[in-house]
């Protein structure tokens, strides 16, 4: 399959009307991105309308199906638009990055240069709140044991990958295990995965009961991936 020369950005979003316009604007400004697809995953606010007004193509889920399903819907939409001999690379972006998404260009470069099949953002620790420590450690241990690779931030959702690499990870792991499943499957297929330092900011996971529940769901979903992926 030829090395991609263009990038489609896919932004799964649920009730992100407050931040989605800034995220879309920032991603549209990335050099190689020529289409931005926001997948409105059952939002209860004006996320879809705001994203469309900001210049995104919007794919809608009438009810919430979760991040993996939103990623799949975005990828299917892009595949339907692409010529078979020139598929775009896929850049997955969290909806809450806002203007800091302008920093994602380094994530794209190795894929377009043919140096990597998938890149994973490695955000400075001072700006990161992605996942509780035990969830990250479980993911790191599993990836190391099964692939021999050390991945510093296995839960990071900011990734760029070729269409072939994406296909190797299908079906995507559900829930909050999707990133760990992607990493295991792409590495397991013998493809090249590179972590890239990228500085961005996002909504922090709190320490209140909502944050505790969120981290509990993360651990559950990652543990399911660990149990089911060979």
Collapse the DSSP code of 54 into the 3-class scheme (helix H, G, I; strand E, B; otherwise coil) and give the result. Answer: coil
Position 2 in a domain? no
pLDDT of 130? 46
Position 1 in a domain? no
CATH assignment at residue 52: 3.90.550.10
Enter the tokens of residue 221: 């979903």
pLDDT of 207? 52
Position 208 in a domain? yes
HEC sequence for 98-144 = HHHHHHHHHHHHHHHCCCCCEEEEECCHHHCCCCCHHHHHHHHHHHH
Cis upstream peptide for 194 (omega within 30°): no
Residue 128 has pLDDT above 50, yes or no: no
Backbone angles phi, psi at 9, to 5 degrees: -95, 130
The mean predicted confidence, pLDDT, of the chain is 89
Mean pLDDT confidence for 174-203: 91
The tally of domains found in the chain comes to 1
Q: How far apart are CA 38 and CA 10, in angstroms?
A: 6
Residue 25 has pLDDT above 60, yes or no: yes
200-227: per-residue pLDDT in tens? 876 555 455 665 565 667 788 888 887 7
- What torsion, rounded to 10 degrees, do the Cα atoms 207, 212, 218, 220 define? 160
Least confident of 36-40, 94-98, 153-157, 210-214: 210-214
> pLDDT band at 193, cuts 50/70/90?
very high
Q: How far apart are CA 143 and CA 228, in angstroms?
A: 13
Collapse the DSSP code of 58 into the 3-class scheme (helix H, G, I; strand E, B; otherwise coil) and give the result. Answer: strand
113: CB partners within 8 A, 6+ apart: 3
99: CB partners within 8 A, 6+ apart: 22, 25, 26
Rounded to 5°, the CA angle 59-60-64 comes to 130
pLDDT of 223? 83
pLDDT of 71? 97
Mean pLDDT confidence for 149-168: 95
Residue 60 has pLDDT above 70, yes or no: yes
DSSP 193: E
Mean pLDDT confidence for 169-189: 93
pLDDT of 127? 44
DSSP 177: G
Position 33 in a domain? yes
pLDDT of 126? 41
Least confident of 51-55, 117-121, 157-161, 222-226: 222-226
Position 185 in a domain? yes
Position 72 in a domain? yes
> pLDDT band at 229, cuts 50/70/90?
low
Burial class (CB in 10 A: 0-12, 13-18, 19+), 5: exposed
Residue 65 has pLDDT above 90, yes or no: yes
Give the structural domain span for 138.
7-228
């Amino acid at each position: 399959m030829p090395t991609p020369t263009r990038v489609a950005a896919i932004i799964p979003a649920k009730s992100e009307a407050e931040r989605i316009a800034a995220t879309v604007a920032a991603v549209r400004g990335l050099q190689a991105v020529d289409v931005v697809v926001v997948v409105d995953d059952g939002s209860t606010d004006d996320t879809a309308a705001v994203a469309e007004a900001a210049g995104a193509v919007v794919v809608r889920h009438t009810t919430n199906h979760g991040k993996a399903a939103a990623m799949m819907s975005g990828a299917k939409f892009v595949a339907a638009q692409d010529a078979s001999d020139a598929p775009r690379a896929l850049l997955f972006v969290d909806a809450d990055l806002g203007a800091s998404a302008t920093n994602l260009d380094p994530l794209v470069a190795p894929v377009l240069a043919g140096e990597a099949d998938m890149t994973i953002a490695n955000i400075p620790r001072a700006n990161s709140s992605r996942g509780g420590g035990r969830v990250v450690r479980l993911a790191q241990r599993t990836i190391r044991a099964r692939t021999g690779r050390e991945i510093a931030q296995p839960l990071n959702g900011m990734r760029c990958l070729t269409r072939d690499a994406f296909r190797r990870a299908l079906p995507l792991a559900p829930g909050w295990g999707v990133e760990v499943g992607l990493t295991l499957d792409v590495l397991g297929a013998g493809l090249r995965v590179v972590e890239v330092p990228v500085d961005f900011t996002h909504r922090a996971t709190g320490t209140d009961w909502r944050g505790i529940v969120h981290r509990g769901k993360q651990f559950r979903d990652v543990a399911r991936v660990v149990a089911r992926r060979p």
